[in-house]
Amino acid sequence: MEQLSEEEVKLYFYENRLKTFEGWPFDEDCTCTPENMAKAGFIHTPSENSPDIAMCFFCLKELEGWEPEDDPLKEHKSHSPSCQFIALKKTVEELTVEEFFKLQKERHKLMMNKSCNEAINKFEEAAKMRRGDIIKTAMGEE
């Protein structure tokens, strides 16, 4: 069995998720503070156009367009009701090794599904463009 890297494990811990919220546009007077976001399993994954993108480190659900009154836990549960991380009844520190590995196995499945879906979408886009090129060539257009 392959060893777990520190990178794979560190986001299970609140403090490490919280560190990702540097530059988060919402603070003290909001419900979606960095602390609440991290408690709900989110990490901050901003882009140039969207400074408020947050993704669950576990189920990989990305959410943006946050409003100050949005409750991160409620939003997470409504957009990703099957996320096993937010369904935990224990803290990560209280998990047995067996429970942790079971969770990690589910996380790997989600990561692989996301990766495969992205590859399929890229392939389908390339195929669509190639098909268009072939049709143009066949019709004598250039």
Q: Using one digit for the tens of pLDDT, what is the confidence trace for 48-64?
A: 888 899 999 999 999 99
Q: Where are the domains of the chain?
A: 6-138
pLDDT exceeding 90 applies to what percent of the chain? Answer: 65
pLDDT number for residue 1? 43
Could you tell me which of 16, 19, 17, 24 has the C-alpha nearest to residue 50? 24
Q: How far apart are CA 4 and CA 97, in angstroms?
A: 12
pTM beyond cutoff 0.85: no
pLDDT number for residue 4? 65
Q: What integer is the mean pLDDT of 3-32?
A: 87
According to CATH, the superfamily of the domain at 6-138 is: Inhibitor Of Apoptosis Protein (2mihbC-IAP-1); Chain A (1.10.1170.10)
Q: What integer is the mean pLDDT of 97-124?
A: 92
Q: How far apart are CA 97 and CA 92, in angstroms?
A: 10
Name the pLDDT band for 14 (thresholds 50, 70, 90): very high
Buried b (16+ CB within 10 A) or exposed e, 108-130: eebeeeeeeeeeeeeeeeeeeee
